[in-house]
Structure formats: structure tokens, C-alpha cells
Amino acid sequence: MARGTNKLTDKAVRAAKHEGKDYKLADGQGMFLLVTKAGRYWRLKFRLRGRERLMSLGTYPDTSLAIARERRAEARALIADGLDPVKQRRGYETEQALTLRALIEDWLARQHWATSYSKKVEGRLQRHVLPQLGERPASEITPPELLALLRTIEDTGAQETARRCLEHVRGAYRHGIASGSIETNPGADLSRALRPKRKANHFAAATTPQELADVLRFLWGYTHRATPTVSAALKLTPMLLVRPGELRHMEWSEIDQDEGTWLIPGAKMKTGTDHLVPLPRQALEIIESLRPWSGHSPYVLPGARSPERPMSENAVTAALANMGLRGIATAHGFRASARTILDEVLGWRPDIIEHQLAHTVRDPLGRAYNRASFHPERRRMLQEWADYLDRLRQEGQAVAIKHTDA
């Protein structure tokens, strides 16, 4: 049975909008419209000598449906003669070649990352790579010119950014090689040509009960000087084990007071999957106390300037600096504090702690556990952790309770 051709209409193409997830609209004979956050792109998938290939036909609306179909017909005529349209289009206009930009866009569209991380990768490439090389045919970019670009980034002092850009570009080329649209990877052997990686800077963290007790007393002593939202953030940060950005973006709609849970959508998570946080009694009380201040906002911890935006990422950092804890404690460092003390002092199983930290944990078959994994255990652990923090702050000494059933 022959495959359908010319399935799309101008109206359907105009109406195609990105609604949180990339998707394709097929027109037939391998041609489709790829709809992404960045734009809408015509692509042609074909097979030549047993290999699947992908080529760009243009960007909508600059390239209309009719023009894209003309280019499809031209490409398929070449394929019928046993010719590679990607190589033959050297005579086309430059924008019709499979550019590095088109290769990267297709690679990004196929990744299953959290939205925040995907935007970070896309933004990094948009700033540092695509302005110089984006419109070049991907197959013509050489290792020396890619290295020259990366060294330019290094010269600004952004060595880690240069390495990340190389990692992303190599990933896009690996995808192109796998799909048959590219034959070589110019970034394959460039890692050692870049400057040595700097030693990692770990987040400052209190990793003993006594150190943590001192920090907690500083935090609670400072809260009467802070706004209600900053005060709440300072109290919740050590308690919930979430990342600072996840806490700042907490929304009222994600809180279930009856169940005592906070469900963080995957789009906000580094892992890209939903994360269920059991809320201890102390956290529920702190959150509920904010309703008179932020109940009118979608965010539990809104920004000082606008209730429609979350708290500034610098708010907690600035508060820690103001109380003299710069270099001693960080918002992110409280996760390390909890990881160490829950394991070494309170005796909780490492896999349960890792689940609560939202690190990727897999079962013996390699499958990632779902968001509710170990929920009863994690609820007991977080309630015990909140109680333990209270005792540390009030008594100023470690209270070890080793568990045999955790």
C-alpha cells in the first residue's frame, strides 16, 4: 500500500505551535515539520545504500510548505539516481545545507532532559557556538576551526564553558553520524587540546552535627531580621534536602496539605522526572504561615519585586553572607550536610537518602525508581531529620539514633 503524500495543509502548518513538548507533523515521503521551542523546521528523512539520513529543507515560515515540497521532490529525484542529496546540494543556497545549527536543533529535540537543563544547554550554544559556526555546513567544519573557537571561549576565563560547549557539539555530531547525515566528528579528539580542567569547587557545608548546630542557631537568630519569605526559605533549606532552585520555584498548587506532600513536576527537576517530597510537620507549619504573605501569588516564596516571579536565587545566599557564613555554609551545601549526617550519625540507608536527594537511583535491572519509591521510609526519615535539626539547634549537641530497620 502506497504511503500518503502531501498530508499537510497551509492552515495546519500555520497553526502548529509548541506547547511544552517537541513534535513532528508528517507530510509524506519522509518530509516532516519539526516543531520546537526555538522554531519550526522542515526535515527530510531518507535511506541511501541502507543508511538512514536526515537533511534540512528550510525553516518555516521563510520556507513555505510548497517550497519545502519542491525541495523534497528535487532531493528524492537525486536519491532515485543513487546520489546523495546532502552532498549534491553544494550547488544549493547556503541555508539549504545541513548547517551546524540544524544538526544541533535536531539533536536537542531528541534529548529527554528537564526543561531547565535543556534551556541551559541551548542557551550556552546560542551564545558561544552558533553565532560563529551555526550557519556553516556541519560537514565542512574542521577540528582546527572548532578548537580555535573553543580557545577563544577559554581566553575569556570560561574554561568550564569551553569544555561544556565541546561536549554538546560532540554529542550533536555523534547523533548526526548515527542518523547518517554526517560522516565525521570534528570534536572527537579535542579534549586534550583544551586547558586542564580546574579542580572542582565543592559547596561549603557543615558536615558534623556540632558544625551544623552552630549554623542552625545563626540561621534562626537571623530570621527576625529577614522578610517572611526569606525567613521561611532559611528554615526550609536545611530541612527538605531539595536543590535551592527547586525550593524557590515551589508553587501552592504543588502542595497537598492533607497528604503532607510536595510534588515537584519533572520540568523543574534536574533529572527531568517528577519528585515527591514528604513534608515534615515543621515544614507544613512554615509553609502554611506564609499564606497571608504569599497566598495571592502562584509561588510559596515569591520575589520581593513581583508576586508573579519566584524569590531571587541570591536571596538566601545574601542572607548567609549577611550573617557571616560566607565560605562556611551555602544553600546547596545543606544537601551535603544531610547526606553525611543521615548516613553516618543517624544510620539511614544510603539508597533512601539518595532517593530523597533526587539523585538518579536504579533498581537491579537498570530501571529508574518512580517518584513514590520508598515514600513511607522517606516520610519517616524527613520527619526524624526535622526533629533532629530542632534538637541540634536547641541543645547544640549531636543526638545519634542509629537505625536497624532503615
Smallest Cα–Cα separation from 18: which of 49, 1, 41, 2? 41
- pLDDT of 19: 80
Residue 400 lies in a domain: no
d(CA 55, CA 219): 57
Residue 401 lies in a domain: no
Question: CB under 8 Å to 283, separation ≥6 — which residues?
Answer: 236, 239, 240, 386
Average pLDDT over residues 194-208: 60
Instruction: Look up the domain containing 328 and give its range.
Output: 209-395
- On whether both 173 and 215 belong to a single domain, the answer is no
Put residue 327 in one of left, alpha, beta given phi > 0 → left and psi -120 to 50 → alpha: left
pTM of the model: 0.49
- On whether both 190 and 304 belong to a single domain, the answer is no
Average pLDDT over residues 41-67: 84
The reply to whether 335 belongs to the active site is: yes
What order do you get walking across the sheet with 23-28 strand by strand?
23-28, 31-35, 40-48, 51-60
Q: Which three cell numbers stand for residue 181?
A: 547525515
Among 46, 67, 96, the domain boundary falls at: 96
For the chain, give the mean pLDDT: 81
The reply to whether 270 belongs to the active site is: yes
- On whether both 266 and 348 belong to a single domain, the answer is yes
Question: Quick one: pLDDT band at residue 236, thresholds 50, 70, 90?
Answer: very high
Instruction: Tell me phi and psi for residue 38, to 5 degrees.
Output: -80, -25
- CATH number, domain of 175, equals 1.10.150.130
- pLDDT of 168: 93
CA atoms within 13 A on the CB side of 193: 17
d(CA 54, CA 75): 11
* Angle (nearest 5°) at CA 313 between 307 and 319: 100
The reply to whether 168 belongs to the active site is: no
Question: Quick one: pLDDT band at residue 33, thresholds 50, 70, 90?
Answer: very high
Beta-bridge mates of residue 34: 24, 41
- pLDDT of 252: 93
Determine which one of 243, 248, 268, 379 is catalytic.
243
Q: What is the CA radius of gyration of the chain?
A: 26
Determine which one of 37, 136, 217, 332 is catalytic.
332
Among 201, 236, 255, the domain boundary falls at: 201
- On whether both 86 and 114 belong to a single domain, the answer is no
- CATH number, domain of 348, equals 1.10.443.10
The reply to whether 380 belongs to the active site is: no
Determine which one of 174, 217, 270, 309 is catalytic.
270
Question: CB under 8 Å to 393, separation ≥6 — which residues?
Answer: 213, 216, 217, 220
Residues in the chain: 406
- pLDDT of 21: 77
- CATH number, domain of 39, equals 3.30.160.390
pLDDT reading at 37 higher than 80: no
pLDDT reading at 1 higher than 50: no
- On whether both 89 and 109 belong to a single domain, the answer is no
Determine which one of 174, 309, 369, 403 is catalytic.
369
pLDDT tens column, 342-388: 887 788 887 788 888 887 654 443 444 555 577 889 999 999 999 99
pLDDT tens column, 84-115: 787 665 444 333 468 899 899 889 888 877 77
Look at the chain and report how many structural domains it folds into.
3
pLDDT reading at 125 higher than 50: yes
- On whether both 166 and 235 belong to a single domain, the answer is no
Smallest Cα–Cα separation from 138: which of 87, 188, 181, 100? 100
Per-range mean pLDDT, top range of 165-169, 304-308, 370-374 = 165-169
- On whether both 214 and 197 belong to a single domain, the answer is no
CB 6 within 8 A of CB 69: yes
pLDDT reading at 261 higher than 70: yes
